[in-house]
Structure 1
Amino acid sequence: MKRLLSIFILLLAALAGGAIWLTRPQPLSPEALPALTGEAEAGRQVFLAAGCASCHADRGAEAQERPILSGGRRIESPFGTFLSPNISPDPVHGIGQYDLAGLTSVLTRGVTPDGRHLYPGMPYTSYVRMELQDIADLKAYLDTLPASETPRQSHDLALPWSIRSGIGLWKARYFDSAFVGAAPSRQIERGRYLVEALGHCAECHTPRDGYGGLDRDRWMAGALEGPGQPAAPNITPAVLDWDKGQIVWYLESGHSPRNETASHEMESVVAGIGQLPREDIEAIAAYLKGLAPIQ
């Protein structure tokens, strides 16, 4: 009996080891990407739409032309506390040594250039849909920002979530690059890209299961607890009854039709999105109005 139990334990260990090996982090090599030249001016628009400053800059710096991305913001979750890293161009404490392949690995694979899984507190589950030229432009802009020597801080996570190698198994279950919303027009297609890829709105506004995976059947139907805020509301047409013009005004100004002001993490989001071209904000509004209504 003891022999059978030992064999069973060994088989389980072998299966677990094999699964972890199959889902090991695999960063992109530079040879896997086409030669692209990024433009910093276009990259700033990507930076604003992607809300990078919302997590990686000091509060109030989201609207600055050249924010210092020293990280350190605390992101509370049911699995523990994530601390955003330094993504300034500092070569030691930031990402100054990343090439395009390294940044692409982070954004579309959730893998660091040196081969470590990133936790999905960094929304690569949305950024996986980013276009490569946008990543090249973003890198060009990030390279122009001030360097910070602020050291990275460790996450505060409980077992088993603190075992980073297990993230590969989580990715195998939940990592999906497919868009969710329909795109019946070019405007809505642009809005879908801004919302589902760059803006990563679903990361807060879509409910999750017990392991942190998004419930794609309840897309944008609100979450009881969003990262860094008490609650993320349902923003499908079943609840969000604003017209397109009212949505645009809110995203530009932070003021709702009910004279409420954007607060919590949404304040940071508006600080970035409000600087986008008007046609992009209108595209976001068109996408939201076209979502399936979910109560």
Structure 2
Amino acid sequence: MRVLTLVSAAAGLAALGLVAVIAWPVGSVPAPIELTGDSQRGAYLARAGGCIACHTNWDEGGPPLAGGAPLETRFGTFHPPNLTMSASAGMGNWTITQFARAVRQGVSPDGASYYPTFPYAFYANLTDQDIADLWAAFQTVPAVDTPAPDNEVPFPFDQRWGLKLWRAAFLPAPRTEPVEGKSDPWNQGRWLVEGVTHCGACHTPRNIAGARVMAQKFTGADALPGQDKSPAITPDALAENGWTRDDLAYALQSGIMPNGDTFGGGMGEVVRHGTSFLTDADRRAIATYLLDEDG
């Protein structure tokens, strides 16, 4: 009888714990942003951040930002959502505060956690001005009233409340702050690589829970969406493979590697829809940081 009582008590506590997790709110309400946004700079950040690359279905000739090609992962298939100004299918009814919370915290307007296929962990240090600029840019995107398909995620990964536990265990803060003693280009590269361009999202291996293994940052990954792979981009690995700062900056513009071959797969898309639009200075800053060559 005592055993049954203990089991019942344990089950009750477990149920209460589950209810508490489900009810546990994530994120926080951002302070109001009343800055005037620069749509041109916002469009630049959207390119750098992969918004246009990921949320446009280029293979099917889809409208810009109306929803991207499906991402096939071991947890299921994720469909990047519509980011146009459609009131019914996109962000047309959002406020800038809701946008800021989504981008920097990974929390939707209804308070649900976004799946980490959305690299919000890298955007957490975007400033209010960055958010205002991005929001101004998105206001210029024509509405497309076709919603992206729902994610195809099996149980238990379809239970978004479980993402609260994932966030608590695996969500690191981006390290984009300037490092004293380093040059401005190196620190600009750090801000880009560790933040908005989120290089580590694809070039860092992930554990069984899909979180980045930070002790192996930039050492490459073998389980990217679509069975793609990425090489190591640590300073040592790049140097061993003969990369120079000029080579890397040029490759980020053209997609052409030092041996004359071209980037393929996901990296080809990153260049085509993202880094090729960056300034020469920013591409060189990325190369400076990745190779850890100051000056």
The question of a shared fold, defined as TM-score above 0.5 by the shorter chain, is answered with yes
Among 100, 104, 111, which residue is 2:100 paired with?
Answer: 104
8 Å contact kept, 2:203–2:220: yes
Cα gap change, 1:70 to 1:99, in 2 (>3 Å): same
Among 133, 139, 144, which residue is 2:135 paired with?
Answer: 139
Among 168, 175, 179, which residue is 2:171 paired with?
Answer: 175
Deviation at 1:60, TM superposition (A): 6.8
Which amino acid is 1:35 matched to?
Answer: E
Note if 1:253 corresponds to 2:254.
yes
Among 117, 127, 133, which residue is 2:113 paired with?
Answer: 117
Question: Where does 1:58-137 land on structure 2 (aligned, <5 Å)?
Answer: 58-59=57-58, 68-137=64-133
TM-score of the two chains, using structure 1 as the length reference: 0.90
Give the distance between the partners of 2:264 and 2:178, measured in 1 at CA: 29
Worse overlay, 260-269 or 172-181: 172-181
Partner of 2:212: 214
Gaps of 5+ in 2: none
8 Å contact kept, 1:28–1:104: no
Two-structure CA RMSD over aligned residues (Å): 2.1
Note if 1:226 corresponds to 2:224.
yes
Secondary structure, counterpart of 1:260 in structure 2: coil
8 Å contact kept, 2:66–2:82: yes
8 Å contact kept, 1:228–1:264: no
Partner of 2:9: 7
Length, aligned pairs only: 285
Secondary structure, counterpart of 1:13 in structure 2: helix
Give the distance between the partners of 2:151 and 2:208, measured in 1 at CA: 20
8 Å contact kept, 1:229–1:265: no
Which amino acid is 1:221 matched to?
Answer: T
Q: Deviations over 1:197-251 (max 9, x none)?
A: 1111111100111111111111111011223452011111222220000001100
Cα gap change, 1:118 to 1:132, in 2 (>3 Å): same
Partner of 1:148: 144
Partner of 2:37: 38
Q: Deviations over 1:110-166 (max 9, x none)?
A: 111121111111111111122221111011111101211112311111221110111
Secondary structure, counterpart of 2:172 in structure 1: coil
Give the distance between the partners of 2:283 and 2:18, measured in 1 at CA: 46
Secondary structure, counterpart of 1:239 in structure 2: helix
Give the distance between the partners of 1:60 and 1:252, measured in 2 at CA: 21
Cα gap change, 1:61 to 1:35, in 2 (>3 Å): farther
Which amino acid is 2:205 matched to?
Answer: P
